[in-house]
Each structure stands twice: as structure tokens, then as C-alpha cells.
Amino acid sequence: MIEIRGLHKYFGALHVLRGIDLDVPKGEVLSVIGASGSGKSTLLYCINGLEPIQKGAIRVDGTDVHAKGTNLNKLRQRMGMVFQQWNSFPHLTALENVALAPRIVKGKSRAEAREIAAYQLQHVGLGDKLNAYPNALSGGQQQRLAIARALAMEPDYMLFDEATSALDPELVGEVLDTMRVLAEEGMTMICVTHEMGFARDVSDRVAYFHEGVIAEIGPPTQIFGAPRSELTRKFLAKVR
Amino acid sequence: MFDYNFHWRPVFKSVPDLLDAGLLTLQVAILSMLIGIVIGLGLAVIRMNMRGPLYWFATSWVELARNTPALFQLFFFGFGLGAFGLHLTPYTIVLAGLSFNCAGYLAENFRGGFQAVPDTQRRAGLSLGMTSWQVYTRILIPQVFRIVYHPLTNQLVWAVLMSSLGMLVGFRELSGETQFFASRTYRIFEYFAVTAVIYYVLVKLILLASRLLAVRLFRY
């Protein structure tokens, strides 16, 4: 379970997150929507400790992410992250990309790591690309590679930071399909997304971010069917 | 108007000695490159990530290495340290001087290389639970090496050619050996002409090896 309490985050004078309270229980798929600059991605970076916070607390399964003495490397192994820019490691093949962290972080044997990697690549539909270098893969394939790489660490949580927004339109579907599969398998996911269809169909809850606060959160039927906040209504009217 | 008589025989007789000295040149150049790479990486990482005394130490190193004549740097390790009673062998003087110089130049190459790797690569590595050390050694440095590969080759060529300064601190590498023979036989032009050819071939071999190695290393 991810618990966020009274979270504030500043970039210099810029107050990006202005008091976030949020619980994400195991097994939930939460979509985070909202305009660019509303703090959605920053929230993900704070959750896995890539960005420091100025006030409040984030606990993952009881561990305070930003407490002194928290082993972030250990913690991050439980939280896979997929970024907007598909950042596969260009100097490694698909298989090596996925096998690297299980081997050097988790200490698996080379053979075992490669087995895990092959399995996860199959899982995201790249079973025929094991020995391809990223530059021979399309954007969508690279993003699925990034998902497989995160999954190979057997995380309890997956954080998606606009995983499809840098992709060509025709490649978005394959990545969303992969994310759908994960959701169906019961993975706990926080998906920052601009894909309203995905948010509506796949998530258990949808959070609408507005200027650093959660303006509204609820099941997709509420957010997309009968939003209670005027802000949500205005935003959805614009993106539809 | 041109009454110089060429005498090539003594030169040809000492070609085996010159080739041996060429190997010594190559050895000291390669060693100083290896030392320079390790130190240069360290200097680059310090300059990018740290503040305070370490930053100033690294920056001074880079500034001195790049903005003073390489010959002065050799003289520092030779006569400079000698003045303080620390007497190094000619080999050590040249190795230390070249390493100092290479490290300074390479540090700047590496810094440019690191800046050319998107920061998202670092974040991706961290998000997988890697330590900073693992991110550097497994993700960033391999990419940096590809980016600076050709500058690195240039630096090795530079080191080979620059090692000829060793002759001025009594080191009998290729130039020192040539100077030694030339002054004994007075066939100065012939000796240095042959040595120039040896340098040329040496550099061409390095470039060829570098090209072959690149094919083997960079399959992406």
C-alpha cells in the first residue's frame, strides 16, 4: 500500500504539489489525469524517491520513502517505473537490458537473469526481439522493453509516467494493451496518462490533478460520467 | 648547392634498436593513456558532481594540463620534483607527465560525453534499484566510451607523438634513441627521417587497430 500524507513539493519557488493525500491499496489501478504542469509526473518521482520532498510523507508498505536511512535502492526494486521517453539502454540488447538489473541488483546468476528476461520480453510481446539492440526497435517496442525491464525486478508496484505520450499515434495501442494485461494480472499501478480511454476502461479509480492538488478522485464512472467538481468537468470538456 | 652525402647504412643497421625503442614509446603511451582514462574519468565525475576542495583540485588539474606546454609538465616531474630531492627515472618522468596531460584532456572529453547521455538514462537505472556506482559503470560509462571513442584514439596518437619530448629528460624512447645514434654517427637527417617513418607507421597501426576494435565493440 502506498500512503501519501500532506505532500508538498517545490522546485525552487515553484510550488508544484500543494498538499496531496492519497492511498493506493494493493491491486488497485489508479489513473492520474490533468493538464501538463499540474504535478502528476512529479508525484511519481517523489513516490520512488527520485525527487526530494519538502513537507509531508510517503510510505510504501510502511517504509517512509524520504526518511533518512531509508535504503532507496531496496525500495525502488519494489517499484517499477516506466518513463515518458523510452529510455532503453542503447548499448545493450533487449535481453541484456532486461537481465541487467536482476543480475547486478538482485544478484541472480547470469543464466537465471536471462531466463527471467526472456520470459518478461515474451510477456510484453517482444519474444522475437531478444537479441535486437534498441535502435532497431520502434518507439512502442522500446516502451514495452522498458516495461519488461521494470517487471523483471518483480515489483509490487508499477509507476507509469505518461508512458505513451511520446509515441507516434499508431504505436500507442500496443503499449496500452501491455498495460491492460498487467492490470488484469492484478498489478498495483499508478498511471499518469493523457489517454482518457485507458483511464476510463482500465482503472479502478481516477484522480484529477489541478494545480498541484487532487481536485477530484473517484471511480471512472464518477469522473467521466458525473464529475462532482466543476474543474474536472471543464478539463474533460477540453480533452474530449 | 646541395653537397650533402646521404649515408643510410648506419641507420639501417640500427633499425632493430629503433624498433625496440618504438615499442617502448608505444608502451609508455598506452600506459599513460590507461592511467589518464582512469584519472580523467574521476576528474570528470568530480567536476560534474562535487563542490569544494575536490572540485577545485580537479579543475586546477584540468586547467594546468590543458593550458601549459606538455614539455613544461614533463620538466615539472623531472627537474621540478628533482629540485625538491625527488629524483624519478626518465621512464617515470615521462609516464607521469604524459598521464598528467592525458588525464586533463580526457577529463574534458569525458565531461562532454557524460553530458551527451540523457539524464533519463541515470534515472532509469536508479529506478531499477541500481546504486550510483552501478549506474555509472554499467549504464553511463559504456555509453560515454562510445561517444568519446574517436577523441580517445586521437589522444593515444597524441600521446605517442608527445612521448618524443621524453628525449629532453634523457628517456631513450624512439626519439631519444634516435638522438643518441644520430649524435654518435652525425647522420642526423637520415636517422630522424627513418624515425619519422617509424612514427608514421606506428600511428597508422594505432588508427587501424582502433577501427577494427570499434567494429568489434560497437554493435549497436
Q: What is the least distance, in Å, from the CA of B208 to any CA of chain A?
A: 23
Residue B105 falls inside a structural domain? yes
CA–CA distance, A158 with A182 (Å, rounded to integer): 9
Residue of B nearest to A72 (CA): B129
Cα dist. A165→A83, A235, B96 in Å? 10, 18, 52
Residue type, B25: T
List the single residue in B123, B126, B220 with the smallest CB-CB distance to A133: B220
CA–CA distance, A60 with A72 (Å, rounded to integer): 11
Query: Average pLDDT in the B53-66 region?
Result: 96
Residue B11 falls inside a structural domain? no
Q: What is the least distance, in Å, from the CA of B146 to any CA of chain A?
A: 9
pLDDT digits (tens, 9 = 90+) for B130-173: 999 999 999 999 999 999 999 999 999 999 999 999 889 888 88
List the single residue in B121, B128, B131 with the smallest CB-CB distance to A149: B128
3-state secondary structure (DSSP) of residue A207? strand
The answer to whether the complex's ipTM is over 0.90 is no
Residue B16 falls inside a structural domain? no
Mutate to test the interface with A, among B119, B120, B126, B127 (most CBs of A within 10 A): B127
**Residue whose C-alpha is closest to residue B25's, from B154, B180, B157:** B157
Does B130 sit within 8 Å of A104, measured CB to CB? yes
Q: What is the least distance, in Å, from the CA of B143 to any CA of chain A?
A: 7
CB A150, CB A158: distance < 8 Å: yes
pLDDT digits (tens, 9 = 90+) for B64-85: 999 999 999 999 998 888 889 8
The pLDDT score that the predictor gives to residue B208 is: 96
Residue B204 falls inside a structural domain? yes
- Which residues of chain B lie closer than 8 angstroms to A129, CB-CB? none
* Burial grade of B84 (CB within 10 A; 0-12, 13-18, 19 or more): exposed
Mutate to test the interface with A, among B128, B135, B216 (most CBs of A within 10 A): B128
List the single residue in B126, B134, B220 with the smallest CB-CB distance to A91: B220
Residue of A nearest to B146 (CA): A91
List the single residue in A87, A100, A105 with the smallest CB-CB distance to B118: A87
User: Which range marks the domain in which residue B116 is found?
Assistant: 32-217
Is the pLDDT score of B1 beyond 70? no
CB A154, CB A112: distance < 8 Å: no
How crowded is residue A229: how many other Cβ atoms within 10 Å of its Cβ? 16
CB A91, CB B144: distance < 8 Å: no
B108 contacts: CB under 8 Å, gap ≥ 6: B44, B62, B66
Residue B141 falls inside a structural domain? yes
- Tens of pLDDT along chain A (240 residues) come to 999 999 999 999 999 999 999 999 999 999 999 988 888 999 999 999 999 999 999 999 999 999 988 999 999 999 999 998 878 999 999 999 999 999 999 999 999 999 999 999 998 999 999 999 999 999 999 999 999 999 999 999 999 998 888 888 888 888 898 898 889 998 999 999 999 998 998 899 999 999 999 999 999 999 999 999 999 999 998 887
Enclosing H/E stretch for A116: helix A110-123
* Burial grade of A121 (CB within 10 A; 0-12, 13-18, 19 or more): buried
Residue B7 falls inside a structural domain? no
Residue B88 falls inside a structural domain? yes
Does A73 sit within 8 Å of B129, measured CB to CB? yes
Count how many Cα atoms sit within 13 Å of the Cα of residue B152 in the half-sphere of its side chain: 24
Residue B70 falls inside a structural domain? yes
Domain at B171, CATH number: 1.10.3720.10
Domain count, chain B: 1
